[in-house]
Amino acid sequence: MAIRTILHYPDPRLREPAKPIAVVDDEIRRLAEDMAETMYAAPGVGLAAPQIGVDKRIFIVDVAGEDEPSDLRVFINPEIVEAQGEQVWREGCLSFPDIHEDVQRAAVVRVRALDEHGKPFELTADELLAVAIQHENDHLDGRLMIDHLGALKRRIIHRKMLKRQKEGGHKRAPAET
């Protein structure tokens, strides 16, 4: 396992849609392990492959609390098949260090995907798990947290991230998705 470098906005690779995974093999399982190690080290609760510069449709999520055992979930070629209701959640993103904004998303989602063994599964999620699934799934489509914000907030965050990039900022952020 290895900790990978997390891309920060405005890296253009974050905007590229990821490609489907044809075969779930040892290479994909190693990628998932590297992603988990990277996410936990950051620390965060979710990470999509495009965030580490890999254009594959895979993300991981672990929304277990600090005092709870790990609940790592791997989603390969995920598809959100149903979304209901609305909720607003204060989100962060490992690709946007130190940025936290209220984002409106579906309250409940049903997702279909393959696990790390290539077995299909379906999951209905709410609360933080639903938010994390939607957030990470967006990354696979080249969509970012700021795309859910108004124009003014997007511009402010864009400027902050450009300034951070120019200054070479690599501060650690609190747990983010």
The architecture (CATH level 2) of 12-167 comes to Alpha-Beta Complex (3.90)
- Name the residue with higher pLDDT: 110 or 177: 110
> For residue 176, what pLDDT band results from cuts at 50, 70 and 90?
very low
Say if CB 110 and CB 90 are below 8 A apart. Answer: no
Q: Supply the pLDDT for residue 66.
A: 85
Instruction: Please report, to the nearest 10 degrees, the dihedral formed by the alpha carbons of residues 148, 114, 81, 52 taken in order.
Output: 10
Model confidence, pTM = 0.92
Instruction: Say whether 33 is catalytic.
Output: no
How does pLDDT run across 52-96, given as a tens digit for each residue? 999 999 999 999 988 899 999 999 999 999 999 999 999 999 999
39-61: per-residue pLDDT in tens?
999 999 999 999 999 999 999 99
Q: How far apart are CA 108 and CA 118, in angstroms?
A: 25
Average pLDDT (130-153) is: 97
Average pLDDT across the chain, whole number = 94
User: Residue 114: beta bridge partners?
Assistant: 76, 120
Give the per-residue pLDDT at 172: 42
Of 127, 136, 167, 176, which residue is the catalytic one? 136
Residue 133 has pLDDT above 80, yes or no: yes
27 has a pLDDT exceeding 80: yes
